[in-house]
Amino acid sequence: MRDFLKDLNKEQREAVKWVNGPVLILAGPGSGKTRVLTYKIAYLLSLGVKPWEILALTFTNKAANEMKERAIQLVGDIAKNVTIGTFHSVFAKILRQEAEKLGYTKSFTIYDQDDSLSLIRNVIKELNFSEDNVNPSLAQAKISNIKNALITPEVFLTLAENQFDEKIAQIYKAYQQSLFQRNAMDFDDLLIKSVELFETHPDVLEKYQTKFKYILVDEYQDTNRVQYVLLKMLSARHRNLCVIGDDAQSIYSWRGAEIRNILDFKNDFPECKIFKLEQNYRSTKKILRAADSVIKNNTEQILKNLWTENSEGDPIVVLECKDDKDEAEKVVHFIKEEIRKNKYNLRDFVILYRTNAQSRLFEDELRREGFPYTIVGSVAFYKRKEVKDLLAYLKVIVNPKDDESLLRIVNFPNRGIGDITIERIRAFANAKGLSLFEAMCKLYAIPGLTERARRGVYNFCILIQKYIDLKDKISAGELARALVDDIGLIRYYKQEGTPEAQQRIENIEEFLSAITEFSNENPEDGTLEKFLEEVSLVSDIDTWENKRDAVTLMTLHSVKGLEFPVVFITGLEEGLFPIVSSFYNIKELEEERRLFYVGMTRAMKKLYLSYAKRRMKAGNMFEQRRSRFLDEIPIELVIQHTSKDDRRARIYETSRVRSQALNLSVGLLVEHEIFGIGIVREISGYGDNTRVLVDFENFGRKLLLLKYANLKVITL
C-alpha cells in the first residue's frame, strides 16, 4: 500500500492520523474537507479496522458516492464495505431491518414532501378545519420543526400558547396516526423513529453501538437536534466520533440545523481534539480576503485565519444596475466578456440568487443570447407528474396500505371511479378499520356504488393484486415495463397528441430505463422496495452533473459544497439579501451573512456581485437599496460598475419630496413618532403624492403620505 498520507498538508495529515476519541475538525471553505474525511476512512482501514466498523454520514448522496469512490481508489475494494451514506439513507436501512419492533412492516413507504402535504390536507379536512385558517404548507413546516426538536404532539399541546398552536397539535397527532395506519414514514420520521427505536429497544442500540466503532460526520454544522441525539447515542460506547464542518457555513436553521452543535462540541466532549484546516486551495487571495472581511462581522463564530498560496487574482466586480432587467442583461454581458477574454466554457459559470423567483429574468436573457442553462431546484425528474404517477402505482404494489399513493392513481387513467365512489369507499374503510385497498377488495359489501364504479374498482384491485403477486418473481425493471403496458400509459399520452404529452412519454421511457438499469446493476438486492427507497431520498443536487456545457442557475442554499471558476451573486439588496425577516433578529442576520460568505467562497477565479436600484414586484416597480454586505468588503478589493440614468435623476430632482424618498428604500428600518419602529415595504407615487407602505412592529401596516410622515431612518 502506497504512503497516501504524503498527499496531505501538515494539518490535514495530523487530523487524519488522530483516530481515538472525539475529534472536531474545523474546515474552512476549499480546505480539502472531503479529502480529509476520505483519507481518514482509508487510514483507519490501513490500521486494520474492519470496514463494517466504520460509519460515515453525509448530507447528500452525491457527497457519499464521491467519498466511497475516492476511498476505493486509495485502498481498493475493501472500502466498498464501509457504511457511507446520508443520515436519512443510513437510518432508513436500519429501520428496514428493525421496523417490526415499532409496529411497521419492512416495506413501509417513505413519503416525500408532496405526499406529506397531501396527507396533511386530508387531515385538515377530516378535522373540519378550514385551509383559510390553517395553511397546509405552513402546518407541514411547523410540524417538521416540532418533530425535529423531538417534541411529541402531546407535549406540544401543553406548550401551545394560542388556538392556532392547539390546531397544529391536533393536526400533528392525526398526521402521525395517519402515517402509521398507512405503514408510511416521512423524511423526519426516518430519524425520529430511529431515536424511538434506540430508546425503546436498548438491545438494538447496543447492537449498532458495538458495530460502529468509528463514526465520521461531514458538514456537522448542518446537523439538527435529532441528528445530534442519534450521534450521541451511537458514539456513547466507543466515543470515536469525528465531526468535520465550518460554523461559518451554517445556513440551514430554517430546516432545523443548530449552529450550537458545532460551537458547543468541545463542551459535549471535553476530551475532544480540535484541528483547524485554514489553507484554502480554491479561491484567489482577493476573493478570500473579501469573504473573510465579511464573515468577521458576525459575533457568533469560531475564529479561523484563512490563507491561500493561490494568486492575488482579479478584484471583485460590483455591478450597480438600473433595475432587475438591467441586472440580467449585465450578468449575461459579463459572461460573454469572460468567455471572450479568458476562454471559459459555459459550465464554468454559476448565477446565484436568494429566492427561486429571481431566476426568470436570467433565463429569459440567456435564452435570448442562445446560451444553454441548467436550473438546480427546478421540477426534479422524480417529481414530474407522470413519474410521480408511476411511482404511486409501484408504492401501492409494495405497500397496499399507502392510501395517499392509491388516491393519486385509482382513477388514472380514467376507470369511472369518481369522488362520490371514493368517499363511499373511505366511509366503509373507516367504519371497518381498513385501508382503502382492503376496503376496495370487499367492494360488494360497500353500499351505494354504481355498476360502472364497481367494475372500475374491481379492475383496479385485480391489476394491483396481479403485480403484488409478481413483485418477488420478476425484476423491478420487468415489473415496471409490464405495468406501463398494462395500464396503457404511453398509449394514453400518444392519443393526447400534444408536445407536452410527448415530453411525458419521454420521461416515462427515461424512468423505465432508470429502474431497469437499477435492476441490472443490483442483481441480488435490486428489489422494488430498494429502488423506491433510493428514489425517495434523491435530492435536487444529487441529480445535477456539471458535464453539460451550460450556465448553472441555483439558489445560494443549493450551492454549498460546489465550486465554479466564475460566480455571480445577484439581488444584493436590503430586504432581498439580507432578507427582510432578518432585520429584527441578529441571529437571522448573521445566518444571512454566512449565506453570503458561502456564495463568495464558491468562486475560484472571479466573483461578480450585483444589485438593482429598482426591482419589479407583483407588477409594480419599487426602489431598492444596496445590501449592507457590499459595504463590508474592503474598497481596495472592489471594482464598481455604476448605472447611469440621468433622465430618472432629473425627474427626481424636480421634487423636494421625491428627493426625500431617495433616502428611503424597501427594506429600510424607519421610526415614526406615533407608530414606532417599522420596515418600509413599498414606495409608490411621485412628488407630493409619494406614499410609503410601512410594516410597523406594534401597529401593523400603514400607508403614509411621505411629505407628512416625518420618518427617521434607523441604521443598525
pLDDT tens-digit series, residues 60-105:
888 888 899 999 999 999 999 999 999 999 999 999 999 999 999 9
pLDDT(488) > 60: yes
Q: Mean of the pLDDT values across residues 11-23? A: 95
The 10 Å CB-count burial string (b at 16+, else e) for 125-142 is: eeeebeeeebebeebbeb
pLDDT digit string (tens) for 143-198? 998 998 899 999 999 998 889 999 999 999 999 999 999 999 999 999 999 999 99
DSSP reduced 3-state for 278 = coil
Active-site residue, 644 included: no
Q: Tell me the binding residues for ATP.
A: 27-34
CATH 1.10.10 residue window(s) in the chain = 112-182
pLDDT digit string (tens) for 263-278? 999 999 999 999 999 9
pLDDT digit string (tens) for 600-648? 999 999 999 999 999 887 667 788 999 999 999 999 999 998 866 433 3
Residue 703, pLDDT score: 83
User: Which of the residues 11, 12, 33, 590 is marked catalytic?
Assistant: 33
Active-site residue, 249 included: yes
DSSP track, 31-86: S-HHHHHHHHHHHHHHTT--GGGEEEEESSHHHHHHHHHHHHHHH-GGGGGSEEEE
pTM to 2 decimal places: 0.80
Specify the CATH superfamily of domain 316-379+544-648: P-loop containing nucleotide triphosphate hydrolases (3.40.50.300)
pLDDT(258) > 60: yes
User: Which of the residues 98, 219, 329, 403 is marked catalytic?
Assistant: 219
Domain 112-182, what fold? Arc Repressor Mutant, subunit A (1.10.10)
Active-site residue, 426 included: no
Residue 596, pLDDT score: 98
pLDDT band, very low/low/confident/very high, at 580 (cuts 50, 70, 90): confident
pLDDT band, very low/low/confident/very high, at 543 (cuts 50, 70, 90): low
Residue 383, pLDDT score: 80
DSSP reduced 3-state for 252 = coil
Q: Mean of the pLDDT values across residues 347-368? A: 91
Phi-psi region of 665 (alpha: psi -120 to 50; beta: other; left: phi over 0): beta
CB-count burial class (<10 Å; 0-12, 13-18, 19+) for 219: buried
Residue 499, pLDDT score: 76
**How long a stretch of residues is the chain?**
716
User: Which of the residues 504, 602, 615, 681 is marked catalytic?
Assistant: 602
pLDDT band, very low/low/confident/very high, at 650 (cuts 50, 70, 90): very low
Phi-psi region of 219 (alpha: psi -120 to 50; beta: other; left: phi over 0): left
User: Which of the residues 218, 258, 529, 590 is marked catalytic?
Assistant: 218
* Range in 127-131, 293-297, 696-700 the model is least confident about: 696-700
**Residues 381-534, CATH architecture:** Orthogonal Bundle (1.10)
CATH number of 662-713: 2.40.10
Cell of 451: 355498476
Q: Mean of the pLDDT values across residues 296-314? A: 92
Domain 4-99+191-278 indexed as CATH 3.10.20.30? no
Residue with cell 380514467: 414
In three-state form (DSSP H/G/I as H, E/B as E, the rest C), the secondary structure along 147-163 is HHCCCCHHHHHHHCCCH
Q: Tell me the binding residues.
A: 27-34
Active-site residue, 218 included: yes
Active-site residue, 656 included: no
pLDDT(655) > 60: no
* Range in 27-41, 368-382, 470-484, 585-599 the model is least confident about: 368-382
CB-CB neighbours of 477 under 10 Å: 20
- Distance between CA atoms of 58 and 89, rounded to whole angstroms? 10
Residue 522, pLDDT score: 83
* Range in 126-135, 258-267, 438-447, 543-552 the model is least confident about: 543-552
Q: How many helices (H) and strands (E) does the chain have?
A: 29, 21
CATH 3.40.50.300 residue window(s) in the chain = 4-99+191-278, 316-379+544-648
pLDDT band, very low/low/confident/very high, at 355 (cuts 50, 70, 90): confident
Active-site residue, 602 included: yes
